[in-house]
Amino acid sequence: MRLPRFELLSPTTVKEALSLMNTYRERLRVLAGGTEITGRMKHRLLTPSYILSLKQIKSLSGIRLKKHELAIGAATTLREIDESKPVADVFTSVGEAARRVAAPAIRNVATVAGNLLQESRCLYYNQSELARNGLGPCYKLGGQTCHATRGSKRCFSVYQGDLAPVLICLGARARIEKKGSSRMVPVEELFTGKGENPFALRRDELLTEVLLPIHSGRSASAYQRLGLRGSIDYPLASAAVFLSEGKDGAIENARIVLGSAGAAPVFAQDAANTVIGEKSHNVQDATIEHAASLAARQMQAVDNLILPASYRRKVAVVMTKRALEKALHILREVSDVRRA
């Protein structure tokens, strides 16, 4: 399949990029690593007049450890994150999530911003133009129907990014810039929860940086995901967990976020609450099982991915259980070292 015709724009500064985005808006799309947008263009899901490449903007790449936070440039590759010592030392789950994306050849070019802002997916949408024409336009294509759930009044396409659940769990923020201004938002506020239009960014806005707060107390995080073929497939179910202890050694803060669970990553706070107030050494298997079951109930799954919704819910239980067990194990090890 050939790409549609477009004009490539290659700014060398963020200021120049923002000016071009302000000028062309709806006619322009941003290319970071290009691992997703090229496929969508070949399927004619996108036919922009202009492609703005971020590859020449050096200030958008790199990982910088500050006093209270870790800053990751939006064009930093997943390989750089995987190989980063600051990430490995402080945010192991972020490195794990980056490492689980596709194959090395993809991670060499795929970026933080690209992974965060990849479009929601659906078997009835991510098809060739010929197949889509036979079905007719769905909500995501401007129509008035959902082919996955007939009679539905909304789009059920699924967000399948790996990094977002982990970053949300860790309380990360995103820097959003446009011509003349910038704003900081929690990563979860990047998402609208609407499958047909999943992101809360305007066409003249650019995600330029992700900031992760460094927690001063004992904490742990973990990420687990399942894909049919690890080298190329998006996750069909995933879970991220963050736990932190208070001064008394009990868990005072817990977050569980599911990926591939709807049009946006899903907070499963009822599930996380089951371990709050417990000491990591005292959390029983039954509690973990209960938390995992509660989390999976938050999925908004229908039969629009390669595996049926009923199976994906069962897998979500397993992924949540494994992530929670891993985070608890890390927290116990940290606690044991502090006591020694």
Handedness of CA 303, 309, 315, 321 (dihedral sign): positive
Residue 134 phi, psi dihedral angles, 5° rounding: -70, -30
Same domain membership, residue 70 and residue 40: no
| 128 is a domain residue | no
| 71 is a domain residue | yes
pLDDT value of position 19: 98
pLDDT value of position 228: 84
Distance between CA atoms of residues 7 and 153, nearest Å: 37
| 208 is a domain residue | yes
Residue 206 phi, psi dihedral angles, 5° rounding: -130, 130
| 234 is a domain residue | yes
Same domain membership, residue 11 and residue 88: no
Give the CA dihedral 298, 234, 112, 1, nearest 10 degrees. Answer: -140
Low-confidence ranges of the chain (pLDDT < 70): 230-232, 335-340
Distance between CA atoms of residues 185 and 121, nearest Å: 24
Residue 39 CB partners (closer than 8 Å, separation 6+): none
Q: Which of 37, 55, 73 is the last residue of a domain?
A: 55
CATH code of the domain covering residue 21: 3.30.43.10
pLDDT value of position 340: 40
How many distinct structural domains can be found in the chain? Answer: 2
| 95 is a domain residue | yes
| 124 is a domain residue | no
Same domain membership, residue 71 and residue 213: yes
Residue 70 structural domain: 63-117+158-339
Same domain membership, residue 246 and residue 296: yes
Q: Which of 9, 29, 55 is the last residue of a domain?
A: 55
